[in-house]
Each structure stands twice: as structure tokens, then as C-alpha cells.
């Protein structure tokens, strides 16, 4: 389960490593070799100006990989950088752009892979890149590939390709199909973008992969076979699982920590079978090729010496725009020099081939936005063809060289090793784990981008939740409308908006988008796209809900000018926080439709804003409901005039819609007013209480205080207003929260959008003035709001049976726009004896154990946290659930620390050319869940695999899929009769998640077909956490479930199991057999059709 542990032949034992100075239980066959280090006396230089986009000097670690010390300067000194100790505990990973290779010793095949990498927004916007470069690359590709059938090219990002396709002639489209059919052009991975693998959620990763694959199938009729990920900044184990489920058999990665690359090269492990940690056999295996050198550009792909390899990048011929920084330019290949140049290149090929196990070598030939001019195509193809012709004409050289695609390479490798493509070649290692965190040199860890621009990381998840809700509700509404013969009245045009939103979310998964590592103007462009799609998705949801809640479907009328249902909130701009809709009350009823996006029934507190404190709320049946009336605050001490918060506890059907009625009424029997006290801590601030809400002002410092519900008691500091402890089941647990500030180094290398380079340990946040602490207590929820200069924290405790009452709701509104080179962190400290172990999720899909390593620099111990992180000991587990991706660590036993925002004034020399100075007011949302462990043991805890509990999964779902409240827009006259919508006729097991119900496109891609993709995920969970008597009902069925009668009122006409992205049928479609069986962690896709 570790990078160098070959699972086929290992036994468990404890290894003593002088690298780590600790004894660790490992599943390994032999001690890993300890790495020796050397570097030039002058150290690493900054990125030279000649290098485009993401390219940096790499000599130091290339030398380490190949042991060719002649390439180092003569003055060397022993050096063990703290960033370079190889972690034994897990599979470390780091990546940015990749290039990989394989060659021959006695005789072999060299595949020259013509590549190009296009960023879907980075220095320029997506549209600007397309106009300036991408369209020219693709136009030249069609022209130049047709000139010689031996030429090859690969392409990965469908976002660009589809835009180009829409603008070319039928004749050129036919030429593209011919090139694909002949194998000259290969579509690799085939996703909408090349996604980031640290911050992206698995819903969005799958969605952009489906969008790309469905486009390819419809327009070109091709199914990708191989994955290509040269530029994500580290690699997640989720991606190989998704690619394998999509029926890809091989993949390539590049940005991996340089020490890991060195070790893999030394052990001939750069090619391996990548297996999921929970997989008991080989069903999740995918063949993976790791590029061995620093970058994926031409100087770093032919072999270990970039000075020589650069001489074979013929775009850099003298007189061109770029040259070789090693001061030796390329030379055009002629009859006179071909022998000498071919031998020089072959020497690099042979040296590179010695890092691999087979006699087939991969040599990529490309870089960012290459081949946009026909001159480069000619220079590369013609000169390399002359070299290949020479090599192939001399049998004594024992080499055959040719242009190839990525799958050509993997096929040649399979043939050479005598196996079916995708199967394990004899003697190759099997590895499990991930490749975070990434460093490209010295202690330069790419761990800053886990948090960079958190506002947009949050907006991404809001859009994702809305997209999933819109997909499911649209599919159900359209199916019911078709069943009733009403589909001609339904707004089918919403499907085009749905497609646009899929693509906007997909585009933002790009590895310079959700990462927060694009130029400021590009970030604005992304933000505008996200907000535009968010507004459209709210419209799609409200249109679907309108149809589904109507008692009399014949009365349904779709009005584009005046939608029946309003939106729950509004955002003024792409960088604004949402403002909730205020419902205007009258003596006639105002109706509100509530949508629960979860596949489980849910008991929740729903809060609405109204314009009067005289309010009465009725259920759909007309029964009065108890309400908690609270003030709406505009600041720590000021209430919003004429705005009041009404909170109702309500039970909502799974994936369903409920209806509430609100009246203006002087009958206050059901109104329970919350009490408020404000602790000013000596600050002279005016407090203006209202008649409805008496406020008790505490001028001076007060004692600590507690809030409680039926499950727990949470105690807070009277001085800071921050959490101090939790009492649960009669036991008190220390659980304190504090804010800290990181600075950046004063030396030349400083933190930026990518890198986290702190100036030491974090220092306690020290605001100029003490906080104002406002405590609200009520029957449905109580909360503590602490107002500091740069952060407002609200901790809310729901007094609700079940999931919502078992955790603390925490939000941090952060505003550090007046900071200079500072990063704000939230640190949670507990009495849990977690020692040096903690756990973080990968893409919201799986859990990866982590270990704090003292010998590594502080920044190396941070990891991505898209959904959760936890610490545990034998008795307890504390999970921090998050609604947005952020960076997290555990720097001391019993601690969790999350970076909330970063403001940095300089570039970090990774190509962006800007710091992070466009900070927004950002609201980070969390849930804190403390659980009791019942069956913990050392053997279980030492395994490199862990799972959340069922309660933890449910808590995460509640946090990430909030109830949407949509008021009926018309105030008068009264709307037609509305009734709740309960789509499911059976209870879904609570370890089964309906990831999506996605309507597939018709022949006209702006319209829906009658088919849908039902995507299910059976979650793996830890049974060793107390689940009895916690107030929430949860049933599982060992993975068996009947889909036949799942949807009430809809008969399942056909059920076809398929590959993840619907490209391959798995077995025959059958309307009769609708019982499915899924293994824990399995994601399964079904093509369904309602009768």
C-alpha cells in the first residue's frame, strides 16, 4: 500500500528508517533505499525568462534520477533538504505537466509522441486562448497530419475541441474523423478539461468526463482508451478509479514530487498498476506511466540531459522566437549531420530507457500551446523523420523509431510484454495511494493552491449542488410530463441551459481554475460563467418544481416573463455573497416550496426571511407549525430594519418537494422568540434593541457559557466567544478553536498562488480590539457569533433529533483585504491522542491516511481537503466537514488546522506573474462532528485505509446539499392548489448515494432524449463508530437494491448497466431484472428509460 511496496509479493513488518527516524508498520518486501542528495553550490536559479508558462530549471533532480553527475557543477556539498525525505506512510504525489518515456537496450521500439497542452484559462481567458492559439493549432493539425500518414498527434481537452468543431466545415469534420479512424489523431482522456485533482469534487470530475465522452461519441464516434494528465499539481487516487470505470486501460501522469520520481526511477517503478486501497483483488487496476523528469517540455523528455534534448526541439532553431537556455541551439538535420545527430539523440533514448522495465520507450514532443504555426509542424516532423529514417536503416543500432500516439505506446508495451492491454505485465509493481503533496524543487511545496481564492472554491460547490439538484428534478419533471402527455408544454429549452451549466462547472475543474492560480481577469471570467449558470440552474429547478407541485397538471403554464417560483437568494455580482430573498407577507397566504436534494428523508430547520414579525406558518395540510423568530443582523449590534428570520422544523421527503403557507397574523401562539445577549467586552458600541427582540447587553468581560441540545453541550470562552469544549454522553472533551496567522519568508522565495512558503510557525491572530460576542438562544437553534476585525465566526447548535443535531454548524466570514503577505488559519485543538496521524479525503470520494513528518518542512504536511478531515484515537474521532475545498494539516497531536484565506503580494515564479491580491469577503462553512469509537484496535488503525461513519457521510451530505426554499412569485390572486411531491416509493439505503440522474441529449444536442443516466455510489463506511440511539434512522441492504419500482408513478422501461461515462454497455439491457448489487465504494452507471 506504499509507493515501493509491491503488493504481489509482500509481507507486513516494521521497518526502521533513518530517513524518518521512526519505526513504522509497512506492507513492504524490503527496506526502501535511502536517498543521497547533492546540489549545486549556487542552488536553484529562478525561472528563466525564455521558458514559457510552467517550465523551470530541473537539472538538480534530473541528475539525481539518472546519476549523471557530470551535469552538475563541480562544486557540490552533501545536502539533505527537509522537503525530500520520502514518506513511508503513504503514497506521496505531486504533479504539474508530465512527460514519460520507455526505450530499448538490445533492441526496442521508440515511440515519438506528438503532443500539445492547452490550458482552458490561465494567463488568458478560455475565449482568448482559443482565438489566439487553439483554433490555429487544430487547423494546422488537420492540414499537416494529412500530408504524411506516418505522422501522429494527441488531443485531450474537449472544451476547446468542441468550440473549434462548431466553427469548421463539414469537409474538415470528415477529415478529422478519417484521421481518428486511421489512428493518426488520438483523443486522450477525453474530458471537458484536464481537471485539478486536489480541489475537485468527484461529482464534478465525473460530470466533466461524461460531458467530454458523450460529445466524442456523438460527434466523432470515438471512445478514449488512455488517460493523459501532464499538468495537475499532484495526483489523486480517485482519477485512476474513474478512468478505469470509464473503461480506459492505461494512463500517464507527470507532476510527482522529485524525490518520489528519483526513487521510482531507481527501482524501475515508473510504470505500475495503480490499485485502490480498498480493492481486495485487481478489479480497479489501471496501468500507469509516470514521466521521469522535471517537465513535459521537449528539453525534459528525450533523456536525462536537457542541454542535449533541447537541441532536438526544432521550434528553437536559430532565428526563432525562443531558444535553448543551455546555449547550444538545435541544428536542422541534413545528410551531412544526420549520423552524428542521430547517435547523440539515441544516447539520450538509451539512458532514459534504463529507468524502465520494458524495451519500448515513450518520448513526448510538445509543450503548452505548441504547433499553432505550420512552420513548427514542418520543423518537427521533417527533422525527426530524417532522424528516424537513419536509425531504422541501421540494424546495428538495434532500434526502431517512429511517431506514435499514447495508445500506440501502451499497445507496443503490451505486445512486447505479452499481455492484453490494461493487464499487469509480468514483474511490474502494483501500487496504491495518491501523489500529494507535490514539490518541484528544494522545499517548494505546491500546497498553497489548496486554499488560494477560497471564494471561488466555495462558489464551485454551490454550483455543483445546484447542478445535481437541477439534473434530478428536471429529469423527474420531464418524465412525469411525458407520462401525462404534457411534454409539449414543458420548457424543453431548459435542457440547453443545463448543458451550458455542465460545461461551466466542467471548465472550472481545469487545473488553473478551481486551483485559484489564474490571472485576475481570468478569474473574473470564470466567476461570471459560474454565476450565469447558477442563475440558470435556479430557474431550471423552479420550473421543474412548478410542474411537480401542481395538484392539477392541466393548469400548468410556463411563462418566460414571469416564473411561477422565485429564487431563494440572489447574488448582485460574480464576487458577491448571496442575499436571501425577503418574503413579503399579507393576510392572504404566501406559499413557499421546499426542495430536499438528498435521497434520504430529512428533518431540518429551515430559515426564511420575512418582512413582519407577525407571522404564522402552516403545513400543506393547514396545520400551524411552531416557529422560532429571530432578528436578522447587519452587524454585531445592528438589526436589519423590517427583516425577520423565521425558522421552522420540518420533515422533507427524499428528493422531494414540500409546501408551506405563510400569513401575516397577530395570532402568536406558535411563535417562539429567541433571546439575545451581546457581550461588548468594554467596547463603546450602540445597541438598538427592537420591541420584538429584547437584548441583554453585557458591557464587561463575562464568564464562560454553554449551549446545549438533547445530544450535546458546547461551551465557549466568555472572553473570545470561541469554542472551548463539548460534553457528550456524560463525557467532556476539550475542543477549542483559535485563529492563527502565517507570514511568508523574507528571502527571495515567497508564498504565492501555488506555493506555501511560511516564515515559520503560525502566530496567534491578534486583533486590535476584543470581539463583540452575540449569543442567541431559541427552541430550534442557538448560536454564538464572534465578531473580530478580520473574521466573524458563527457556531450554531441545532436542537433537532437526528443528523443536524449531532454536529456543530460553523461558519467563518473572512475578510483579509487589508493584510499583506498573510494567511489566516483556523486551528482546532482537542484531547484526542492522534499522535502524528490524521486523515483527509480525496475528492469527497475516499479517505487517505496522512502522517505528520517532523523532518519535512511545515508546508509539506498540508494536504487538500475537499470534503472532510479527521483525527482519532481509541475512544474518539473528530471530523471537520467542509463545504469548500481548503488546505488542512495536523501539526500536533490532537489538532486539525485549516487555511481559510491567503493574501500574497508577489508571484511565486511558477508562470502566473501575479500574487493573490483580489481577495473577497468569503464565507467558509463547516460541520464539526465528534463521535465515540466502539471497536478501535491497533491492527485496524495501522492499515492504509479508513472510512467515515454513516453519520459522517450523512452530515457531509446535509452540509453540501442544503434545502432550497422557493417562494411562489405571485402574491395575488392565490395560486392553484399545490401539493408535496414524493418521487421515491422506496427508502434508499443510506449507504447508497444517487450521484446523478442525468437526462441524455437527443440528436439535436440542445434537446433532451428519453434516456437518462442513473449514477449510483455505494459508500464505504466504518461500522466501529457508535450509531445506536443517535436519533436518525438508517438502513443498509448489503449493496442489494431494486430499481424497478424506485420512482413513484414512473415505470422503468429498460435498465442497461454501462461504463461510467455510458460509452460501453455492460451486459444486456433488461426491464425484468431490476435488482442491482453494488460493492462498497463502487460507482455504477445505468442507462435507463421510463416506460
Cell of 314: 526544432
**Separation between Cα atoms, residue 919 and residue 454, nearest integer Å:** 9
**Separation between Cα atoms, residue 369 and residue 351, nearest integer Å:** 28
**Separation between Cα atoms, residue 611 and residue 965, nearest integer Å:** 16
The helix or strand, by DSSP H or E, that contains position 738, with its residue range, turns out to be strand 731-742
Tell me which of 67, 132, 207, 231 is the catalytic residue.
Answer: 231
Interhelix angle 135-145/170-182, nearest 10 degrees: 60
Please tell me whether residue 988 adopts helix, strand or coil conformation.
coil
* Active site annotation includes 231: yes
Q: What is the dihedral of CA 89, 93, 94, 98, to 10 degrees?
A: 150
Q: Measured at the alpha carbon of residue 512, what is the angle toward residues 506 and 513, in degrees to the nearest 5?
A: 45
Report whether 505 contacts 467 (CB < 8 A).
yes
- CA 881, 874, 708, 625 dihedral sign is positive
Report whether 839 contacts 948 (CB < 8 A).
no
The helix or strand, by DSSP H or E, that contains position 158, with its residue range, turns out to be helix 158-165
E strand intervals along 208-338: 226-229, 250-253, 271-274, 286-290
Cell of 949: 461513519
Cell of 1070: 433488461
690 CB neighbour count, 10 Å cutoff: 12
**Separation between Cα atoms, residue 196 and residue 574, nearest integer Å:** 22
**Separation between Cα atoms, residue 157 and residue 119, nearest integer Å:** 9
**Separation between Cα atoms, residue 85 and residue 17, nearest integer Å:** 10
User: Phi-psi bin for 702: left (phi > 0), alpha (psi -120 to 50), beta?
Assistant: beta
**Separation between Cα atoms, residue 38 and residue 61, nearest integer Å:** 9
Report whether 712 contacts 1031 (CB < 8 A).
no
476 CB neighbour count, 10 Å cutoff: 27
672 CB neighbour count, 10 Å cutoff: 14
Q: How far is CA 830 from the centre of its chain?
A: 28
In the block, which residue shows the cell 481548503?
886
> 827 burial class (0-12, 13-18, 19+ CB within 10 angstroms)?
buried
Report whether 195 contacts 885 (CB < 8 A).
no
Report whether 289 contacts 429 (CB < 8 A).
no
H helix runs in 183-335, sequence order: 202-219, 238-245, 258-266, 306-309
Is the preceding peptide bond at 437 cis, omega within 30 degrees of 0? yes
Long-range contacts for 691-700 (Cβ within 8 Å, ≥24 apart)?
692/613, 692/629, 692/631, 692/644, 693/630, 693/631, 693/639
1065 CB neighbour count, 10 Å cutoff: 12
Supply the DSSP symbol for 451: T
11 CB neighbour count, 10 Å cutoff: 7
- CA 267, 270, 272, 276 dihedral sign is positive
Report whether 841 contacts 905 (CB < 8 A).
no
**How far, in Å, are 404, 708, 722, 734, 951 from residue 728 at the CA level?**
63, 10, 18, 11, 16
E strand intervals along 254-301: 271-274, 286-290
Q: What are phi and psi of 348, to 5 degrees?
A: -65, -45
For the annotated catalytic residues, the residue numbers are 231
Amino acid at each position: 500500500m506504499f509507493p515501493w511496496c509491491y503488493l504481489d509479493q509482500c509481507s507486513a513488518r516494521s521497518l526502521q528508517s533513518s530517513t524518518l527516524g521512526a519505526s513504522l508498520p509497512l506492507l513492504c518486501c524490503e527496506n526502501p533505499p535511502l536517498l543521497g542528495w547533492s546540489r549545486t553550490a549556487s542552488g536553484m536559479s529562478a525561472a528563466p525568462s525564455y521558458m514559457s508558462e510552467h517550465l523551470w530549471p530541473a537539472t538538480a533532480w534530473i541528475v539525481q534520477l539518472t546519476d549523471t553527475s557530470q551535469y552538475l557543477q563541480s562544486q557540490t556539498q552533501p545536502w539533505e533538504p527537509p522537503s525530500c525525505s520520502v514518506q513511508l506512510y503513504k503514497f506521496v504525489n505531486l504533479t504539474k505537466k508530465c512527460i514519460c518515456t520507455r526505450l530499448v537496450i538490445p533492441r526496442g521500439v521508440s515511440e515519438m509522441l506528438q503532443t500539445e497542452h492547452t490550458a482552458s484559462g490561465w494567463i488568458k481567458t478560455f475565449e482568448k486562448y482559443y482565438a489566439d492559439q487553439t483554433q490555429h493549432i487544430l487547423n494546422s493539425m488537420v492540414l499537416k497530419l494529412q500530408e504524411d500518414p506516418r505522422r501522429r498527434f494527441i488531443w485531450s481537452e474537449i472544451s476547446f475541441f468542441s468550440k473549434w468543431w462548431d466553427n469548421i466545415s463539414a469537409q474538415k469534420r470528415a477529415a478529422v474523423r478519417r484521421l481518428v479512424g486511421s489512428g493518426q489523431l488520438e483523443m486522450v482522456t477525453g474530458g471537458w478539461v484536464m481537471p485539478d485533482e486536489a480541489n475537485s469534487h468527484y461529482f464534478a470530475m465525473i460530470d466533466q468526463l461524461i460531458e467530454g465522452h458523450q460529445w466524442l461519441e456523438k460527434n466523432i464516434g470515438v471512445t478514449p482508451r488512455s488517460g493523459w494528465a501532464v499538468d495537475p499539481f499532484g495526483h489523486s487516487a480517485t482519477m485512476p478509479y474513474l478512468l478505469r470505470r470509464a473503461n480506459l486501460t492505461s494512463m500517464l501522469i507527470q507532476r510527482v514530487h522529485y524525490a518520489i520520481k528519483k526513487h521510482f526511477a531507481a527501482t524501475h517503478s515508473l510504470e505500475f498498476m495503480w490499485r485502490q486501497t480498498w480493492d481486495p483483488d485487481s478489479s480497479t487496476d489501471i496501468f500507469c506511466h509516470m514521466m521521469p523528469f522535471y517537465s513535459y517540455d521537449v528539453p525534459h523528455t528525450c533523456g536525462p540531459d536537457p542541454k542535449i534534448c533541447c537541441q532536438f526541439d526544432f521550434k528553437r532553431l536559430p532565428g526563432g522566437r525562443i531558444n535553448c537556455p543551455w546555449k547550444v541551439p538545435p541544428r536542422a538535420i541534413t545528410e551531412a549531420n544526420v549520423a552524428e545527430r542521430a547517435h547523440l539523440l539515441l544516447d539520450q533514448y538509451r539512458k532514459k530507457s534504463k529507468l524502465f522495465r520494458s524495451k519500448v520507450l515513450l518520448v513526448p514532443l510538445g509543450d503548452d500551446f505548441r504547433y499553432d504555426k505550420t512552420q513548427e509542424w514542418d520543423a518537427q516532423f521533417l527533422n525527426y523523420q530524417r532522424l528516424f529514417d537513419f536509425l531504422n536503416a541501421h540494424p546495428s543500432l538495434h532500434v526502431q523509431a517512429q511517431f506514435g500516439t499514447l495508445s500506440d505506446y501502451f499497445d507496443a508495451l503490451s505486445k512486447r510484454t505479452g499481455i492484453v492491454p490494461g493487464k499487469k505485465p509480468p514483474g511490474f509493481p502494483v501500487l496504491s495511494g495518491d501523489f500529494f503533496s507535490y514539490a518541484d524543487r528544494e522545499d517548494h511545496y505546491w500546497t498553497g493552491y489548496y486554499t488560494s481564492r477560497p471564494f471561488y472554491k466555495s462558489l464551485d460547490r454551490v454550483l455543483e449542488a445546484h447542478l445535481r439538484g437541477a439534473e434530478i428534478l428536471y429529469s423527474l419533471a420531464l418524465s412525469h410530463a411525458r407520462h401525462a402527455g404534457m411534454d409539449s408544454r414543458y420548457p424543453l429549452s431548459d435542457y440547453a441551459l443545463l448543458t451550458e451549466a455542465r460545461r461551466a462547472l466542467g471548465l472550472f475543474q481545469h487545473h488553473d481554475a478551481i486551483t485559484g492560480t489564474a490571472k485576475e481577469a481570468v478569474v473574473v471570467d470564470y466567476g461570471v460563467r459560474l454565476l450565469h449558470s447558477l442563475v440558470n440552474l435556479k430557474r431550471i429547478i423552479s420550473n421543474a418544481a412548478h410542474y411537480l407541485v401542481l395538484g392539477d397538471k392541466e393548469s400548468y403554464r410556463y411563462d418566460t416573463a414571469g416564473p411561477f417560483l422565485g429564487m431563494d437568494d440572489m447574488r448582485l455580482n460574480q464576487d458577491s455573497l448571496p442575499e436571501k430573498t425577503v418574503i413579503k407577507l399579507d393576510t392572504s397566504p404566501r406559499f413557499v416550496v421546499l426542495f430536499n436534494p438528498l435521497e434520504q428523508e430529512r428533518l431540518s430547520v429551515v430559515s426564511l426571511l420575512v418582512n413582519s414579525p407577525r407571522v404564522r406558518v402552516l403545513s400543506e395540510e393547514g396545520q400551524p407549525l411552531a416557529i422560532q423568530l429571530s432578528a436578522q443582523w447587519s452587524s454585531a449590534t445592528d438589526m436589519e430594519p423590517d427583516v425577520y428570520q423565521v425558522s421552522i422544523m420540518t420533515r422533507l421527503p427524499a428528493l422531494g418537494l414540500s409546501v408551506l403557507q405563510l400569513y401575516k397574523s397577530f395570532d402568536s401562539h406558535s411563535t417562539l422568540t429567541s433571546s439575545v445577549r451581546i457581550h461588548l467586552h468594554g467596547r463603546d458600541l450602540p445597541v438598538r434593541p427592537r420591541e420584538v427582540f429584547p437584548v441583554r447587553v453585557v458591557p464587561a468581560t463575562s464568564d464562560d457559557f454553554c449551549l446545549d441540545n438533547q445530544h450535546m453541550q458546547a461551551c465557549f470562552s466568555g472572553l473570545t466567544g470561541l469554542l472551548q469544549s463539548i460534553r457528550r454522553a456524560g463525557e467532556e472533551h476539550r475542543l477549542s478553536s483559535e485563529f492563527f496567522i502565517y507570514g511568508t519568508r523574507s528571502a527571495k522565495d515567497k508564498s504565492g498562488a501555488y506555493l506555501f512558503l511560511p516564515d515559520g510557525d503560525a502566530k496567534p491572530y491578534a486583533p486590535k480590539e476584543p470581539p463583540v460576542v452575540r449569543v442567541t438562544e431559541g427552541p430550534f437553534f442557538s448560536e454564538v457569533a464572534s465578531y473580530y476585525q478580520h473574521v466573524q465566526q458563527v457556531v450554531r447548535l441545532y436542537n433537532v433529533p437526528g443528523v443536524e443535531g449531532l454536529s456543530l454548524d460553523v461558519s467563518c466570514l473572512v475578510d483579509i483585504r487589508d493584510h499583506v503577505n498573510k494567511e489566516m488559519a483556523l486551528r482546532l485543538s482537542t484531547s484526542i491522542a492522534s499522535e502524528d496521524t490524521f486523515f483527509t479525503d480525496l475528492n469527497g470520494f475516499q479517505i487517505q491516511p496522512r502522517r505528520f513528518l517532523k523532518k519535512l518542512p511545515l508546508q509539506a504536511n498540508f494536504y487538500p481537503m475537499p470534503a472532510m478531515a479527521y483525527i482519532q484515537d481509541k475512544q474518539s474521532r473528530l471530523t471537520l466537514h467542509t463545504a469548500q475545498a481548503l488546505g488542512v494539516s495536523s501539526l500536533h497531536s490532537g489538532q486539525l488546522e485549516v487555511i481559510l484565506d491567503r493574501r500574497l503580494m508577489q508571484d511565486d515564479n511558477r508562470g502566473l506573474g501575479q500574487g493573490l491580491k483580489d481577495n473577497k469577503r468569503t464565507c467558509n462553512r463547516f460541520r464539526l462532528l465528534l463521535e465515540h469509537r466502539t471497536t478501535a484496535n491497533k491492527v485496524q488503525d495501522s492499515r492504509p485505509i479508513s472510512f467515515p461513519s454513516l453519520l459522517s457521510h450523512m452530515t457531509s451530505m446535509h452540509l453540501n446539499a442544503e434545502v432550497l426554499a422557493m417562494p411562489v412569485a405571485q402574491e395575488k390572486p392565490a395560486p392553484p392548489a399545490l401539493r408535496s411531491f414524493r418521487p421515491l416509493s422506496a427508502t434508499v439505503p443510506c449507504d447508497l448515494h444517487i450521484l446523478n440522474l442525468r437526462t441524455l441529449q437527443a440528436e439535436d444536442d440542445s434537446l433532451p432524449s428519453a434516456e437518462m443516466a442513473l449514477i449510483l455510489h455505494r459508500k464505504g463506511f466504518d461500522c466501529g463508530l457508535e450509531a445506536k440511539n443517535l436519533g436518525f434512522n438508517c438502513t443498509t441492504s448489503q449493496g442489494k437494491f431494486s430499481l424497478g419500482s424506485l420512482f413513484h408513478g414512473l415505470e422503468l422501461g429498460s435498465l442497461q448497466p454501462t461504463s461510467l461515462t455510458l460509452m460501453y454497455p455492460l451486459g444486456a439491457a433488461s426491464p425484468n431484472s431490476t435488482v442491482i448489487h453494488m460493492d462498497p465504494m463502487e460507482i455504477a452507471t445505468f442507462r435507463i428509460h421510463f416506460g
